[in-house]
Amino acid sequence: MANEYDVLIIGAGPGGYVTAIRSAQLGLKTAIVEREHLGGICLNWGCIPTKALLRSAEIFDYMKHGKDYGLICENPSFDPAAVVKRSRAVSGRLNGGVGHLLKKNKVDVIWGEARLSAPGKISVEKASKQAMEPQHPVPKNVLGKGTYSAKHIIVATGARPRVLPGLEPDGKLIWTYFEAMVPPSMPKTLLVVGSGAIGIEFASFYNSMGSDVTVVEIVDQILPVEDAEISAIARKQLERHGLKIKTGAKVSKLDKSADSLTATIELSGGKTETLNVDRVISAVGVVGNIENLGLEELGIKTDRGCIVADGFGRTNVPGVYAIGDVSGPPMLAHKAEHEGVICVEKIAGLDPHPLQKNLIPGCTYCHPQVASVGLTQEAAKQAGHDIKVGRFPFLGNGKAIALGEDQGLIKTVFDAKTGQLLGAHMVGAEVTELIQGYVVAMTLETTEQDLMHTVFPHPTLSEMMHESVLDAYGRVIHM
């Protein structure tokens, strides 16, 4: 039958579409349902368009500091509309690319909103959610409303911004990442609530583009999942660039006026202060999209807004799987992709291993960049490891100095007994491109010896990765 598949995937975000392609590679008849945009939040309203915005900000920063490099760039300025337009164009190009990849792999695309109607069956209706504009065009030759069946149904519906009471986004004064991605104009003053990756990236962007930005974070460090030392260095750098940061603080009240807001902020000492801003970005985390999927009717277990799934994406109901953000943290595109591949390989009868969550790196693209994998120094201690810690500052690296990027740190955490690399934490220029070296090392289970024996090319920032390992064992050269 035409509407019968081996594997049906709900949601064409980075988890869903990669799963679909892998499924097709494995010879399974595959379809994917999407209600809004191929590539999901990541590619349309998240990872990718923010990187385009941040690239504009980065080049603008260079222009402002051209003099430092002997270059003359007088009164640099920018066109906000053109910056946003470029970001949308980058997103649009990749959105079209996903459609092409699905077609090439003979994955059927079903346009609409899916609901699990019975075991092995979904019904697809017109999307109830209003799509965020501007939206890329619907791909050609998609299937539409109707009933579809599959032996295996993978829920990959992703997540959406968390809404806190009193901070409800209104699309005008209180933004989420959707509105922050396409600002009609640059706010003069901006309050960012939440200092996770999303909050800090937007804060960094708007700060570079000239806004007066204040970040409020409820815990006592920014980027709460990162190593405390790295977080502190990032904070210092961001503050040096003009960002205002309040940690251990929370926004208790927002009073809206016609085109501005007054925020009441409870500070760590118990004092409160008020702040007038043009706009607020709410970046207080994301929650799984588990509604209107028919999960309750099928008795699929959920926990704190996410579907409960095992290491192979299997829910408590046979034939129904969940991967990516909707199956729980860390809510990262690359985690979703790997979970999806593992899930569908298990379905196909291969013998994959569950994803080791300690091997999932995280990157934040503020200026300076932050990247990490594995256990922080504190977490390693708490896990009972006797640890060795290596540190190497950008100040000691020739390439960093040549780049004019001499602020930053590369930190490594080893188990003293076995030499296992437990974690690596970086702050500074280009570290998001460096971290995978350590991820490979950890995935292959190298010890400090293998890393010491690895030749890192000179002159590169990566040499600091070598030095950090040497430092952990008292053998650092350039310090």
Partner 1 sequence: MPTPILMPALSPTMEKGKLSKWLVKEGDEVRSGDVIAEIETDKATMEVEAVDEGLVGKIMVPEGTDDVPVNETIAVLLGDGEDASAIAETPPAAPVIAASAPPAQERPSAPAAGNGAAAQPLPAPAPTSPPQSAPATPAGERIFASPLARRIAAQNSIELSVISGSGPHGRIVKRDVEAAIAGGTAAAPRVEPTAPPAAPAPAISDEAVLKLFEEGSYEIVPHDSMRKVIAKRLTQAKSTIPHFYLSADCELDELLALRVKLNGNAPKGADGKPAYKISVNDFVIKALAVALQRVPDANVTWTEEGMLVHKTSDVGVAVAIPGGLITPVVREAHSKGLSVIANEMKDFAARARERKLLPHEYQGGTTAVSNLGMFGINNFSAVINPPHATILAVGAGQKRPVVLDDEISIRTIMTVTLSTDHRAVDGALGAELLGAFKNCIEEPAMMLV
Residues in contact with partner 1 by CB under 8 A are 353, 417-420, 444-447, 449-450
- The three-state (H, E, C) secondary structure of the chain, written as one string: CCCEEEEEEECCCHHHHHHHHHHHHCCCCEEEEECCCCCHHHHHHCHHHHHHHHHHHHHHHHHHCHHHHCCCCCCCCCCHHHHHHHHHHHHHHHHHHHHHHHHHCCCEEEECEEEEEECCEEEEECCCCCCCCCCCCCCCCCECCEEEEEEEEEECCCEEECCCCCCCCCCCCEECHHHHHCCCCCCCEEEEECCCHHHHHHHHHHHHCCCEEEEECCCCCCCCCCCHHHHHHHHHHHHHCCCEEECCCEEEEEEECCCCEEEEEECCCCCEEEEEECEEEECCCEEECCCCCCHHHHCCCEECCEECCCCCCECCCCCEEECHHHHCCCCCHHHHHHHHHHHHHHHCCCCCCCCCHHHCCEEECCCCEEEEEECCHHHHHHCCCCEEEEEEEHHHCHHHHHHCCCCCEEEEEEECCCCEEEEEEEEECCHHHHHHHHHHHHHCCCEHHHHHHCCCCCCCCCHHHHHHHHHHCCCCCCC
Nearer to partner 1, 71 or 350 (CB): 350
- Kindly name the residue from 65, 100, 353, 458 that is annotated as catalytic: 458
Asked if the peptide bond before residue 224 counts as cis, ω within 30 degrees of 0, the response is no
State the minimum distance, in angstroms, from the CB of residue 474 to partner 1.
Answer: 19
State the minimum distance, in angstroms, from the CB of residue 27 to partner 1.
Answer: 21
State the minimum distance, in angstroms, from the CB of residue 415 to partner 1.
Answer: 9
Asked if the peptide bond before residue 187 counts as cis, ω within 30 degrees of 0, the response is no
Nearer to partner 1, 229 or 415 (CB): 415
Nearer to partner 1, 213 or 469 (CB): 469
Nearer to partner 1, 36 or 345 (CB): 345
Nearer to partner 1, 206 or 414 (CB): 414
State the minimum distance, in angstroms, from the CB of residue 443 to partner 1.
Answer: 9
CA distance 12 to 95: 10
State the minimum distance, in angstroms, from the CB of residue 249 to partner 1.
Answer: 42
State the minimum distance, in angstroms, from the CB of residue 289 to partner 1.
Answer: 33
Side chain identity at residue 109, one-letter code: V
Nearer to partner 1, 127 or 359 (CB): 359
Nearer to partner 1, 61 or 450 (CB): 450
152 carries an active-site annotation? no
State the minimum distance, in angstroms, from the CB of residue 422 to partner 1.
Answer: 11
State the minimum distance, in angstroms, from the CB of residue 356 to partner 1.
Answer: 9
Nearer to partner 1, 78 or 456 (CB): 456
CA distance 477 to 473: 11
Find all residues with CB under 8 Å of 270, minimum gap 6, and list them: none
| CB of 433 closer than 8 Å to CB of 440 | no
Active centre residues (catalytic)? 458
